[in-house]
Structure 1
Amino acid sequence: MLKTSVASISTYMGIGILNVSQMIIVKQTGITTDIAAFGLGLTWINACSYAIIMALNDGIRNFSSHISGSKDHKTLGIIYNQSIAISWFVFLVSLALILNSFQLLTFFGIAPDIAAKSYEFTLYGIPSLIGSIYFESSRQFLFSQKIFHVHMKAQLFAALLHPIWCYFFILHQDMGLKGAGIARSVTFLLSYVFVWIIMKIGGYGKQAIQPFKFKEAFSLSQWWHIVQVAVPAGGTNYLKWVSIECLTVLVGNLPNKNCLAGHAAFFSINIFFSMFAKGIQTTVNSFIGNAIGEAKEQLAKNLTTIAISATFLLCLILMLFGLATQSFFVQLLTTTSAMETQFLIAFHMYLCVDVWGNFLQQVQAGILSGMNRQNDTVKYYMWTFLLLQFVVAYFCGFYLQWGLAGVWLGRVAAGIVNSICFQILLQHVDIKQEIINVQLRIKQTKQLNELNVSNVIEGNESQQDENNTSSQQIQLQQLNNNEGSEQKTAKHAQIAKK
């Protein structure tokens, strides 16, 4: 499991590389407002659409992992098609928020000049969301089958090309944040193109891929069956992601603009660091999900112990690495001494304090979701990351006037409380009962798919009967017409003889 974690970590690290390289090139403009606006625009497009698509597919992967463990390839392929359809629906709905981002950001108290530039980035980044629909859907499809290297290769290759597009559009064409949005769109679309090529050449997931049927993919009854599992499981990831995005909006309301610039600069590498935990979470979720689907209780317990131990070791390594390289990141991502001060506040709050609680609770959430306890995880996330975090952040950051450090204390508190609650939950999970529950749900899913297929067949047969009946009526009418014309011809012949 730890070996395959490298591939999933590398896949998610590609997202961090994209953001860091883009922030570095935006920094070359030398405009603090652009740096702040880019961080805010990235926050907005992630929170309103990309993070939802990603989180939903994470939840669907949890559902698919159980089915993959039961070796039901046909159902797995149908769910893959339905994940694409659901992602398209989310994208179309989220356009309302993206196209009105300027008005909404100013409503939340963001300065109009920063909000306007953020709007430019999100507007030109819309095509990137189309790429994410297919990239994330195919990712959950392959990850659920424990195939991790396909998306790793595609993501890293696209990430290596990303600085070229950023330099060309942002600096060479002098398009500013419009160019940043275009560069993001090009990279995200290419990422899926690379995935599609690798899947075709290698034949990965071939045994489970099903023809895309519109009625089957957009079956609302089947959507509801999937969403019941996917929303709670993916909701934990989305709430964690969107909470840091909302935290950025809160930082944007601090009187010192350097707070937002420093926070946004750190946020680009925060994603880089956090993707290590995300990679372990994804891997352990897929492995435990397959173990539950295969009814292997002891394997699920062993994987849990390994994952939590590996997370503690990872936190220690990342903290030491971050402290050793902080001067490098300061030179790379900051422009002024005031911005550097705020950057270091966020940097130290994250790597020395926040990383322990947040990394651990993220991996614990993946374990619990794999064990079919996703409903419990999302409940705790709502209390900690949507309530506790913002109460503490507002109190310390604004009331006590501790600034950026006070806002980050809210996140630290939420992560620690969540990890303690999740550990208590893990001690009380009845794995045998969850295996029974998962097997029952797989059976229901298969029956629902078979029912949908039989309904389609019956509909086709009835349509064919109607077509046959109508064709018979047409033939009868033609015969009647022919008989009538023959009778008329005979009468004319008799008249002519007379």
Structure 2
Amino acid sequence: MESLSSSPHIAQESIAQDLLEDGCEEEQSSSSSSEDNDSDGSTIRPQYAMIHGRRQSYVNPGARSTSIFSTSLPERGYLSKREKALVREEERSLLRDNHILPPKHPRQRRGSEGLLSSRLGKKLSLSALRKVRSAMDEEAAIDIDEPSEATALLQGDCTLPYGGLDTPKTINRTWDEAVVAGKIHTTWQRETKFLTKTSAPLILTFLLQYSLPVASVFTVGHIGKVELGAVSLASMTASITGYAVYQGLATSLDTLCAQAYGSGRPHLVGLQLQRMLYFLWLITIPIALVWGFGTQILSAVVPEKETAKLAGLYLKVLIAGAPGYAAFESGKRFMQAQGLFSPTMYVLIICAPLNALMNYLFVWVFKWGFIGAPIAVSVTENILPLLLFLYVRFVDGYKCWGGFERRALANWGPMVKLALPGLVMVLAEFLAFEILTLSASWLGTTPLAAQSVLSTIAAITFQIPFPMSVAASTRIANYIGATLSIPAKAAAKVAMIFAVGVGIFNFLLLSLLRTYIPRLFTPDPDVIELVANLLPLCAAFQVFDALACNCNGILRGLGRQEIGGYVGLFAYYVVGLPISFGTGFGLHWGLYGLWSGPAIALGIVATIEGVFIYKTRWEKAVEDAVKRNTMA
């Protein structure tokens, strides 16, 4: 476990090794690359290319020599004119907001004075008008003779936009000097705009992706209570033993791909993707074995044999979609590292309705019954990576793909070391909630069906704060990579405020609609009544859930995933689950008791991680990023 405590250095180790292996090829191509660079910096900026709202990964952590690309990617070793314009506009905007460049639109003082005089002249006497002009002249003198802290540090031609200082060469030089001098700061308005803009497609993406198994719950739930409990039990087992494993391990790409992209060598992003893809496909072998023997495993722990049999059948069919799901999880982070948040949304906008349609056709029209639901899910999971690949190849994102390489079979150590704490952090919470579903099976068919609805509702509300934490994580990681510790801290504060707002929204949503939401899942009156009585308890911990999720995102941005893993293990398994079992079975509170444990655990996670983040030395995270460049 000691190796997990050095997460910020693990990514440095991986990228440094890859850069070392690139060294020989780069030396051979360095002279030709430098000759091809145009005056406005056609290569990826070696210093501090800043973050644009859509492509927030154009960041280089610390000063470097001129970026030199492998000969395998000569045509993609530079930014396009559009990409350079996006980067330059963001840097120009920050320089202007920090009063390092003059305003874009110069103040037309004399013109304004003439306009004001013409309007006032109709109402004021000549002597009064002279007094107004005198006051305006005095104000102008003060502005000129006594510059305030808001006065631009660079003075140019005041009649031109940005004082005529917005040339690429001037912006590059001024930006680098300002970053080194610590003059670049951000505002809550800027971070709010960014978080809102990037979170919207992510929230829709995650909601659509989660709709794939939820469609089965909706479709099968109207067959009967046994089928509803079975699909819930199967989904729980698939999440614990498969989907959560893929998602947890793939979180290492949030660090590795983003830092590889920021290093100025985009083909390393594709290299990291290949490693993760091979790794996840290797992990699929034991996952398939568990799912294949799902009926026997569940029959040993679930008293309802018919429920266990149907759930095991569901798992067997899901094996066919596991490799596709793994590929899509890896590809999704490959795109996010490049600041491309919308492609996965576009893919899911096509696949989610298709999945719902197939569920309906297979279960009800073709009369395949229960087995039709997992078939629809497996087909959809294989279509997802195929559509994403087509987008990368023919639309955007292909610049980071350097082709298949043998190096993808080596240097797995840093990736695995980063992936393990990410797995623990994700799996700790997944497992804690899904154990409730397994435990509810011992309470009877009705409580199990109610638990299926409750866990689905809680998971749906989770799809709002979690995507926001992903956006915040990337923003913070890129600020730190650009050696901007103060803006990174400001972004974290804005993200925390957003988390509170989302938690309150979810709380009100579940509280006010508690009698209507259960009817969407089942027509059974007993299940509806039990769910409606329990929803206020689920609503009560929504703020803690959102805060805990956001804290985990900030920790990922800092490269401290292991903290979230340790805290999650303690909160859920030392505190939460014992309370759940004690109150649920010991005190006979039933589902009320089972849900009390996670509620308390989420409060503990939010508190401990919040205190850790509050006491974090943000400058230390920047120092770690600079060390990586020294190693390279």
Q: TM-score, normalised by structure 2?
A: 0.67
Residue by residue over 1:333-377, the C-alpha shift from the partner in whole angstroms, topping out at 9 and shown as x without a partner, is 1232221122224422222x1211121111101101211221211
2:522 counterpart residue number: 334
1:426 counterpart residue number: 613
1:24 aligned to 2:215? no
AA aligned to 2:384 is: S
AA aligned to 1:329 is: I
Q: Contact between 1:334 and 1:343, CA under 8 Å: does it hold in 2?
A: no
1:251 aligned to 2:413? no
2:417 alignment partner, one of 223, 228, 239: 228
Gaps of 5+ in 2: 1-194
1:50 aligned to 2:243? yes
2:126 counterpart residue number: none
| Residues 429-440 of structure 1 aligned to structure 2 (within 5 Å) | 429-440=616-627
**How many angstroms apart in 1 are the aligned matches of 2:382 and 2:329?**
12
**How many angstroms apart in 2 are the aligned matches of 1:359 and 1:442?**
35
Residue by residue over 1:454-482, the C-alpha shift from the partner in whole angstroms, topping out at 9 and shown as x without a partner, is xxxxxxxxxxxxxxxxxxxxxxxxxxxxx
| Residues 204-243 of structure 1 aligned to structure 2 (within 5 Å) | 204=397, 206-213=398-405, 215-219=406-410, 222-243=411-432
Residue by residue over 1:189-225, the C-alpha shift from the partner in whole angstroms, topping out at 9 and shown as x without a partner, is 2222221222222122x22212122x32222xx2111
CA 1:245–1:442: 2 relative to 1, 3 Å? farther
The alignment-based identity, stated in percent, is 19
AA aligned to 2:404 is: F
Q: Secondary structure at the match of 1:212?
A: coil
2:449 counterpart residue number: 261
1:35 counterpart residue number: 228
Q: Secondary structure at the match of 1:286?
A: helix
**How many angstroms apart in 2 are the aligned matches of 1:70 and 1:228?**
21
Shift of 1:109: 3.3
Q: Contact between 1:102 and 1:116, CA under 8 Å: does it hold in 2?
A: yes
CA 1:325–1:268: 2 relative to 1, 3 Å? same
1:310 alignment partner, one of 492, 498, 506: 498
2:345 counterpart residue number: 152
Q: Secondary structure at the match of 2:251?
A: helix
2:107 counterpart residue number: none
AA aligned to 1:26 is: V
**How many angstroms apart in 1 are the aligned matches of 2:344 and 2:363?**
27
Residue by residue over 1:214-241, the C-alpha shift from the partner in whole angstroms, topping out at 9 and shown as x without a partner, is x32222xx21111212221343122212
1:4 alignment partner, one of 195, 198, 203: 198
CA 1:136–1:442: 2 relative to 1, 3 Å? farther
| Residues 149-188 of structure 1 aligned to structure 2 (within 5 Å) | 149-188=342-381
1:67 counterpart residue number: 260
**How many angstroms apart in 1 are the aligned matches of 2:251 and 2:502?**
22
Which is worse superposed, 223-232 or 317-326?
Answer: 317-326
Query: RMSD over aligned Cα, in angstroms?
Result: 1.7
2:599 counterpart residue number: 412
Q: Contact between 1:304 and 1:367, CA under 8 Å: does it hold in 2?
A: yes
1:278 aligned to 2:469? no
**How many angstroms apart in 2 are the aligned matches of 1:107 and 1:193?**
38
AA aligned to 1:73 is: P
**How many angstroms apart in 2 are the aligned matches of 1:11 and 1:358?**
20
| Residues 94-133 of structure 1 aligned to structure 2 (within 5 Å) | 94-133=287-326
AA aligned to 2:363 is: I
CA 1:399–1:122: 2 relative to 1, 3 Å? same
2:31 counterpart residue number: none
Shift of 1:267: 2.3
Q: Contact between 1:9 and 1:280, CA under 8 Å: does it hold in 2?
A: yes
**How many angstroms apart in 2 are the aligned matches of 1:195 and 1:57?**
17
AA aligned to 1:144 is: A
**How many angstroms apart in 2 are the aligned matches of 1:66 and 1:399?**
49
Q: Contact between 1:233 and 1:375, CA under 8 Å: does it hold in 2?
A: yes
**How many angstroms apart in 2 are the aligned matches of 1:313 and 1:19?**
27
Which is worse superposed, 43-52 or 327-336?
Answer: 327-336
Q: Secondary structure at the match of 2:515?
A: helix
CA 1:376–1:386: 2 relative to 1, 3 Å? same
Q: Secondary structure at the match of 1:125?
A: helix
Residue by residue over 1:146-204, the C-alpha shift from the partner in whole angstroms, topping out at 9 and shown as x without a partner, is 21000011112211111210011112233233211101011112222221222222122
**How many angstroms apart in 1 are the aligned matches of 2:507 and 2:578?**
27
1:13 alignment partner, one of 204, 207, 212: 207
Shift of 1:89: 1.2
Q: Contact between 1:26 and 1:34, CA under 8 Å: does it hold in 2?
A: yes
| Residues 263-412 of structure 1 aligned to structure 2 (within 5 Å) | 263-351=451-539, 353-412=540-599
AA aligned to 1:400 is: L
Which is worse superposed, 14-23 or 369-378?
Answer: 14-23
**How many angstroms apart in 2 are the aligned matches of 1:188 and 1:144?**
22
Shift of 1:439: 4.2
Q: Contact between 2:204 and 2:345, CA under 8 Å: does it hold in 1?
A: yes
Residue by residue over 1:44-85, the C-alpha shift from the partner in whole angstroms, topping out at 9 and shown as x without a partner, is 111111111112112322332233333332322210111111
**How many angstroms apart in 1 are the aligned matches of 2:214 and 2:503?**
21
Residue by residue over 1:364-395, the C-alpha shift from the partner in whole angstroms, topping out at 9 and shown as x without a partner, is 01101211221211111111123322101000
Gaps of 5+ in 1: 447-498
**How many angstroms apart in 2 are the aligned matches of 1:6 and 1:390?**
34
Q: Contact between 1:262 and 1:334, CA under 8 Å: does it hold in 2?
A: no
AA aligned to 1:15 is: Q
Shift of 1:326: 3.1
Shift of 1:443: 6.4
Q: Contact between 2:486 and 2:618, CA under 8 Å: does it hold in 1?
A: no
**How many angstroms apart in 2 are the aligned matches of 1:291 and 1:70?**
13
Shift of 1:289: 1.5
Q: Contact between 1:125 and 1:185, CA under 8 Å: does it hold in 2?
A: yes
Shift of 1:242: 2.3
**How many angstroms apart in 1 are the aligned matches of 2:263 and 2:547?**
29
